Structure 1
Amino acid sequence: MSEPQTFVYSTVNECEIRLDLYLPAAHVSQVAPLPVVLFFHGGGVFRGSRKSILPELKDAALSKNWAFISADYRLLLPSTGFDILTDIAALCTFLSTLPTIDTTRILVAGHSGGAYVARQAAIHGTPRPRAFFSVSGQGGHLLNPAYFTPKPYLQKKLLGTYKKYSTRNSAEFLGLKVCSDFPWDWQEKRGKKATGEVPEIGSRTWLSSMASVTGARLDFLTGKQGFSKMLLEAYSKDNEVDLAALVPQDLKILFPELMIGKEFPPSFVLHGTGDKNVVMRESEKTVKELERMDVECEFVAAENWGHGWSAETRHKPNL
């Protein structure tokens, strides 16, 4: 079927968190529940929508008589990684109520920032997904200086008139509300200058860039102001410091690289060598951890590829 069924799988305050369910044409005569690809969209975990899918992955699933689900999740600021974990739990509970879905046969997938959510679902989902697929995935190496080091030299290039917000980046100041669906339209807005109060579209669209420039991304993820600064100060004194040892026990659950174990599902990890949005060492770190745990994993470094996946690629997971 071409049009999905849309469900609200959780409501937080007044924020309805939705998923789109696509079913194969043969589902009408299908008696047994279907295996499913559960997909999480990109957007740096700050923006994006379930409408932003990888069509090739959806088509591959449907052609094999699988279902395909694209799910929203709460976006960072004012929400945190803890809220995303709550959304994953709510999503798993909701999926168990759908008679068309076999929750024992879930392949969880994500593109860009959505791969962080997919990693968390692969680790904390109940029942645990049977496979994991990452495309240009973020979240494999969060304890990386690139995430907690300020980049003032990029401020003018990336932020323009948003420069004044680089030192005041709270959700309250930016006027952000709990949000789980923020479609991509940054290409339309990025050339326009902000005047007066920052509109919702401007603030959230530029939030990922601002987080990079200020080195505050991990503060947003954890909800702990000063966490990034603490890592930076330790790393500045000794660049061989064990950053993992500095993460408080209650925050470790937000870092997939610290939580991967032997129970992590078999994985297919795809990353372009020319990706300028998410560096390939994010995927390499995940693959290294999976290999250390003896988890089956196929890693493809797609030569000269950028930040995405296309129908023409020969690099496809064997569903």
Structure 2
Amino acid sequence: MPEPQTFVYSTVNECEIHLDLYLPAAAPASQEAPLALPVVLFFHGGGVFRGSRKSVLPELKDAALFKNWAFISADYRLLLPSTGFDILTDIAALFTFLATLPAIDTARIMVAGHSGGAYVARQAAIHGTPRPRGFFSVSGQGGHLLSPAYFTPKPYLQKKLLGTYRKYSTRSSAEFLGLKECSEFAWEWRERRGKRKAGEVPVVGGRAWLAGMAAVMGTRLDFLTGREGFSGVLREAGGGGGGVDLEALVPMAMRVLFPELMMGGEFPPSFVLHGTGDKNVGIGESEKTVKELERMGVECVFVAAENWGHGWSEEVWNRWGKDVVPFFERCISDKTEA
């Protein structure tokens, strides 16, 4: 396995935000020669609350390197203490930094993300400059953030998850929990199951606990927007039922955080992979994305993987994911900007 070169692409409030650059074996280690390689730019999963660049889809990375492409896995600031606005700032800084790497052809960037990382990849596909040439979503969030799934509490889980800590605010919790803006912990979707005792929950105060708490409390959009109570506004409006237009309740300044409200016909060709048995991110998010892309005339391949859940394995790649490589090849078959 090739060792990556690690770079700091942005520093915010003394927080260094890193990326790992993997180059194919045929490429020299030196960055002095302008190789102009296409690049797969990957964003890790973890619900946007946890994880780090150390979590990649290994088969995607290896396939990119085999094609003589570069592969980059980039950190981004995580929800609490950061918000979606900070992630947009990170995306802008990341694309500016990529332009300084002679090995990278910024006219041939393809973005990819797993789970919460697919939200970040969607934002990069919309706001990245130059615009990426292709988009790969795996079990992706961000296709339908105005779905009740994001702001409906799950009371039956609250007692189990919350422990003794029930009160929080999007501004004060980070200091209370001691959370940093980025994490070095690689969220591993292939972690061994059954390690915890029955009924045992994540340690109160950790990022895994925070992600679960936001889900069961129905407050994930509070953390994304930095506006405490926003999820409650949507909930009180009827959760999208009864003809209530939830989109109209999103303030103009916050719309940029909702990819479903920002996608247009210039969105790059997309390969969307989602399991029909996914209980973490419902397949409806991807179905809505595909429907919108088709309506706008954007090329889209949709793979609904029968009985697959939310994890990742070599089998998932071999059965459903490997076709993204020839798809990306078509996306970058010429260097004309989309």
From the superposition, tell whether residues 98 and 232 of structure 1 become closer, same or farther in structure 2 (CA, over 3 Å).
same
Relative to structure 1, is the Cα distance of residues 193 and 123 closer, same or farther in structure 2, using a 3 angstrom cutoff? closer
Q: Which residue of 1 aligns with 2:4?
A: 4
Structure 2 counterpart SS, 1:20: strand
Corresponding residue for residue 127 of structure 1: 130
Structure 2: give runs of 5+ residues left out of the alignment: 329-338
Name the structure 2 match of 1:13. 13
Residues 223 and 295 from structure 1, CA distance in 2 versus in 1: closer, same or farther, beyond 3 angstroms?
A: same
Q: Distance in 2 between matches of 1:224 and 1:91?
A: 25
Residues 55 and 188 in structure 2, CA contact (< 8 A), matched pair in contact too:
no
Between 204-213 and 67-76, report the one with greater CA deviation.
204-213
Q: What CA deviation, in whole Å up to 9, does each residue of 1:233-287 have, x standing for no partner?
A: 0015954211111100000000000000011000000001111111101111111
The residue type paired with residue 283 of structure 2 is M
| CA distance in structure 2 between the aligned counterparts of 1:112 and 1:289, rounded to whole angstroms | 19
Equivalent residue, structure 2, for 1:116: 119
Of the three residues 278, 295, 313, the one matched with 1:292 is 295
* Mapped pair 1:219 → 2:215: no
Distance 1:283 1:25 in 2: 35
Q: Which amino acid aligns with 2:28?
A: V
State the TM-score, normalized to the length of structure 1. 0.91
From 85, 110, 122, give the equivalent of 1:82: 85
Corresponding residue for residue 73 of structure 1:
76
* Match status 1:163 vs 2:166: no
**Local SS of the residue matching 2:7:** strand
Match of 1:314 in 2: 319
Question: Which deviates further from its counterpart, 95-104 or 31-40?
Answer: 31-40
SS in 2 for 1:235: coil
Q: How does 1:173-192 map to 2 (within 5 A)?
A: 173-184=176-187
- Identical aligned residues as a percent: 76
Deviation of the 1:31 alpha carbon = 5.5
Runs of 4+ aligned residues of structure 1 deviating over 4 Å after TM superposition are: 185-195
Note closer, same or farther for the CA distance 1:293–1:174 as it changes in structure 2 (3 Å cut).
Answer: same
The alignment partner of 1:251 has SS state of helix
Contact 2:75 2:182 in 1 (8 A): no
Q: Aligned residues, how many?
A: 311
Q: Is residue 264 of structure 1 aligned with residue 267 of structure 2?
A: yes
1:83 counterpart SS class: helix
Of the structure 1 ranges 247-256 and 28-37, higher mean CA displacement relative to structure 2 is found in 28-37
* Distance apart, 1:28 and its partner CA: 2.3
CA distance in 2, matches of 1:303, 1:20: 33
User: Secondary structure, in 3 states, of the residue corresponding to 2:268?
Assistant: coil
Conserved? CA contact 2:47–2:211, under 8 Å: yes
RMSD: 2.2
